[in-house]
Amino acid sequence: MKKILVNIIFVFAVATIVGCVYAPPMKVTVSDLVDMPSLYRNKKVEISGYVVRNEYSGDRFVNWQLIIEENGKRIYCYENGYNTTVIAKCVHLAEEAKVNNEKIIVTGQLREGGYRDVTSDDTILELKTFEYNDHKIDTDYERDKWLHPAHDTYDLHSYGH
């Protein structure tokens, strides 16, 4: 009986951990993030809004800075890394959305307090996906170069071939 109970608890613990890791992002507003950032700290969130600032810098290691606004509230978003092709595509689409005054959708993890001092309120969104029109892009890597057909399994052996 004790062994069965331990197994049941183990299964629930694993299911909870897996559910937290692969759970879809919470859909929130920019106002929610700005007004109550501690509720969403280090959580995966999805927001939509208008592009106010869209800057890109770097050569091999690139830094993309994006400010999204909705209803007078703004949040700073960023992505950086060696994924220049992916980030350049996102920058181009964000600029198109800005020019057309159309909303974009982004997902990411909210960072608050002490992670990086880049904004006065110290609340920033580390981007994971960027969506505009029919384009949905994972900002972390180039899917075709790095992944097997199996979901999110890395294929480093065939990279560059």
pLDDT digits (tens, 9 = 90+) for 82-126: 888 889 999 999 999 999 999 999 999 988 654 444 444 567 899
Q: What is the mean pLDDT of the chain?
A: 79
Confidence label for 160 from pLDDT (cuts 50, 70 and 90) = very low
Spatial separation of the C-alpha atoms in residues 137 and 130, rounded to whole Å: 5
Q: Higher pLDDT residue, 152 or 107?
A: 107
Class of domain 26-146: mainly beta
Q: Reduced to 3 states, what is the DSSP secondary structure of residue 109?
A: strand
pLDDT of amino acid 26: 93
Residue 20 to residue 104: CA distance in whole angstroms = 25
For the chain, domain boundaries = 26-146
Q: Enter the pTM of the model.
A: 0.71
